[in-house]
Structure 1
Amino acid sequence: MSANTVKEHWIQLGDEQDREGYLALPQGLDPQGAVIVGGEMFGVPEHVRDICRRLAAEGYAALAPNYYWRHVRRPGFGYEEPEYGQAMALMKGLRTEEVLADVAAAHAVARGYTGGSGTAILGFSVGGHIAMLGATALPFDLVVNYYGGWLLDGGIPLSDPEPPVTKSEAIAANSGFVLGFFGANDFVMSLDEWHRVGARLEAAGVAQEQVTYSQAGHGFFNDERPTYYDAEAAQDSWQRTLDALTKHVRRG
């Protein structure tokens, strides 16, 4: 499916007028499932919108909520100062109950675009954390976590009072499958914590797969950041993501 078969626009999420998400849809086709997308701490920049378009080109409705809507409309921060610091401050201002309310609003909207297929949540870095957090409270056929940190040991306000993986039993009850990607050289979360995350999920009975890339680090999927990007890990993880969407989300 080519890029010109994708349509995109911002859409209101729930009853709050300023709560929005960026929505990409396959043009002229019924979606074969819906994916909620959460990016890194930079809001909904072009990189995140491009991921949504890529998913729409595969036949899915892709929705990226603006988790910063209480402070900034349609944010897309850059990777250098001062925007980096502005994004960091907003990320550290996220709170569990507010984010869960946003995920719930996005979930309700996304389900309207499933076309009878399933719903997934996918996230990168803090977006991966939000994906796992969302799975503690809402049902998803597939949860995809790209190097989401603070999952078990905490470390940011969003992980208070209980990091998502401490609620692994709830994740097991809500999730069809959890797929996680991690670079062994990640500076946000240690390899030891990553292994303990997997063990905790397994002990709770979560259907899952954890993929570790020995040469990659944090942010390996973001091709707009050359010092972080790892082409081999990015390509492999994306194909695994598409395969998982076909298996767990697409119906028929």
Structure 2
Amino acid sequence: MTDQTSGRWLELGTPGGIEAYVHGPVGEVRGAVVVCPELYGVNAYVRGICAELAGLGYVALAPDFYWRSRRRTELGYSAEEREEGLTLMRALDRDELVADAAEALDSAVAWADDHGVAFVGTSMGGHIAVRAATELRFDLAAVFYPGWLLNSGFPLVGPVPPLETAGRIAANGVYLLGFCGELDHILPPEEWQEAERKLTEAEVGHELVTYPGARHGFAADRPADHDAAATADAWRRVHAALAERL
């Protein structure tokens, strides 16, 4: 691939279509990771994840899933910016998301240097990674507090939530590694337990981890939500899974 050691925006696939922020490693490529952002877009937090993954030897690309409404969205965490993000998220369409994920996967495969590809996602991005796993073949989905796995309500989910077709994840050979906080208000314990049941029933290779006392967004750089111990443990597990599966 073109030298991306400093990270920059690139067009993926179709001219005039989706772009991604891409950060490549300095030395040997160990695989590629599609980083799916939460509702705040490809902001400094997401670009930091890309830089850290590149430092470990992976080509990291963060797609701009909002591109049809607004390009290169980068939001902070104020109440007003959260509302902006929610408005943009409500405009997302499930089938368009899958098409965008497919373009990102094609680019990731091309840049992976014959290694594997993973999707990593937080919150909304975790949902996108799981949805992608029901439709596309790749090696690992590592998801932090993914929403709407078993319930609908947004166009990005569509009429059938992703874990209602968990068998497709198994058929696509995607291993699912998931993280949730005990106090998550979006993904409550009973839903996380039902997700575990659905994955086991569908024979999806997986591990779901719950962190006592942690909230939704525990891995983000928002002081009110951040849990340093949970974040460190989750990323340790992600790095180990990337090394094993890519």
TM value normalised by structure 2:
0.96
One-letter amino acid matched to 2:81 = E
Residues of 1 paired with 2:80 and 2:197: CA distance?
Answer: 39
8 Å contact from structure 1 (residues 12, 19) kept in 2: yes
**2: CA distance between counterparts of 1:117 and 1:211?**
26
Root-mean-square deviation (CA, aligned residues, Å) is 1.2
Choose which of 44, 47, 64 in structure 2 pairs with 1:46: 44
Q: Does 1:242 align with 2:234?
A: no
Cα distance change of structure 1 residues 175 and 217 upon mapping to structure 2, 3 Å threshold: farther
AA at the equivalent of 2:109: R
Counterpart for residue 59 of structure 1: 57
Q: Distance in 2 between matches of 1:153 and 1:194?
A: 12
In structure 1, distance between residues paired with 2:5 and 2:231? 22
- Residue 175 of structure 1 and its aligned partner are, at CA, apart by 3.0
Aligned ranges 1:1-252 → 2 under 5 Å: 6-27=5-26, 29-223=27-221, 225-249=222-246
Distance in 2 of aligned mates of 1:100 and 1:18: 14
Give the match's secondary structure for 2:171: helix
Judge conservation of contact 1:6–1:57 (CA < 8 Å) in 2: no
* Shift in Å, 1:242: 0.1
- Where does structure 1 lack aligned partners over 5 or more consecutive residues? none
CA distance in 2, matches of 1:197, 1:216: 18
Asked if the contact 2:41/2:74 (under 8 Å) is kept, the reply is yes
Moved over 3 A (4+): none
Q: CA deviation at 1:82?
A: 2.2
> C-alpha offsets along residues 110-138 of structure 1, whole Å, 9 cap, x if unaligned?
11111111000010000000000000110
Aligned length: 243
Moved more, 72-81 or 205-214: 72-81
CA distance in 2, matches of 1:185, 1:81: 21
Instruction: Render the CA deviation track for 1:13-46: whole Å, top value 9, x for unaligned.
Output: 111414100001012x231100000111001000
The alignment partner of 1:72 has SS state of: coil
Which stretch has the larger CA shift, 80-89 or 48-57? 80-89
Q: Distance in 1 between matches of 2:173 and 2:127?
A: 15
Query: Do 2:133 and 2:174's aligned partners in 1 also have CA atoms closer than 8 Å?
Result: no
Amino acid at match of 1:232: A
1:151 Cα deviation (Å)? 0.3
Does the 8 Å contact 1:18/1:73 carry over to 2? Answer: no
Distance 2:29 2:165 in 1: 31
Extract unaligned runs of 5+ from structure 2.
none
